[in-house]
């Protein structure tokens, strides 16, 4: 069975605290849709490739490392509460 992955643009790596739990997360823009997604801590690329069409380095990250898969606001906090 293969690992489910998400392709991200390597140059977009940014670290910041999660607004819900305070844990440090690493943000990337996905490829090709370029939407921001948060991963736990410092995810390790399973594979790195170059894309000559867009001139970018693309990393494939394990979908299980997506921060939102286990960090959810509680009902008392409401959706999207920033503190």
- Determine if the peptide bond prior to 32 is cis (ω within 30°): yes
pTM, entire model: 0.77
Q: Which residues pair with 57 in a beta bridge?
A: 50
77 domain-assigned: no
Tell me how many domains the chain contains: 1
CA angle 30, 77, 40 (to 5 degrees): 35
Q: Are 81 and 73 in contact (CB under 8 A)?
A: yes
Does residue 30 lie in a domain region?
yes
| Digit-coded pLDDT (tens) for 15-59 | 999 999 999 999 999 999 999 999 998 899 999 998 777 788 999
Closest CA to 81 of 16, 21, 15: 21
Q: Which domain holds residue 56?
A: 5-69
Residue 32, domain member (yes or no):
yes
Coil, helix or strand at residue 49 = strand
Q: Can you name the residues that pair with 5 across neighbouring β-strands?
A: 62
Residue 49 within any structural domain of the chain: yes
């Amino acid at each position: 069975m293969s690992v489910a992955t998400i392709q991200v643009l390597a140059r977009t790596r940014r670290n910041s605290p999660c607004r819900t739990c305070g844990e440090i997360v690493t943000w990337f823009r996905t490829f090709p849709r370029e939407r921001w997604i948060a991963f736990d801590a410092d995810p390790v690329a399973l594979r790195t490739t170059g894309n000559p069409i867009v001139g970018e380095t693309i990393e494939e990250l394990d979908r299980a490392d997506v921060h939102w898969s286990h960090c959810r606001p509680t009902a008392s906090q409401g959706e999207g509460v920033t503190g």
